[in-house]
Amino acid sequence: MKVIGSEQEIQWAKEAFRNTCAGCPYAAPCDEEAKKDSRKFGEVRHTCRDFLEGRIEFIIENKI
């Protein structure tokens, strides 16, 4: 997935993605990573933002 926009639009998108899992296409693999962290470390160490940044390409477009 690619998200293209201004720096402000990209920041908004990141916040929107991490604030709700409803309808997120990455909910299942993200949940699996959280379970792995929990088993391995006794807590979840990777945030939603960490998980999404490895799977979504954010491109900041400079509007002229």
Per residue in 23-55, pLDDT tens? 777 888 888 989 999 999 999 888 877 887 778
Spell out the residues 6+ positions from residue 38 whose beta carbon is closer than 8 angstroms to its own: 44
Res 64: pLDDT = 62
Where does the pLDDT of residue 4 fall: very low under 50, low under 70, confident under 90, or very high at 90 and above? confident
Res 30: pLDDT = 85
**φ/ψ of residue 4, rounded to 5:** -115, 130
Contact predicate 30/51, CB 8 Å: yes
Q: Give CA 36 to chain center in angstroms.
A: 17
Q: Which residue has the tokens 């201004």?
A: 6
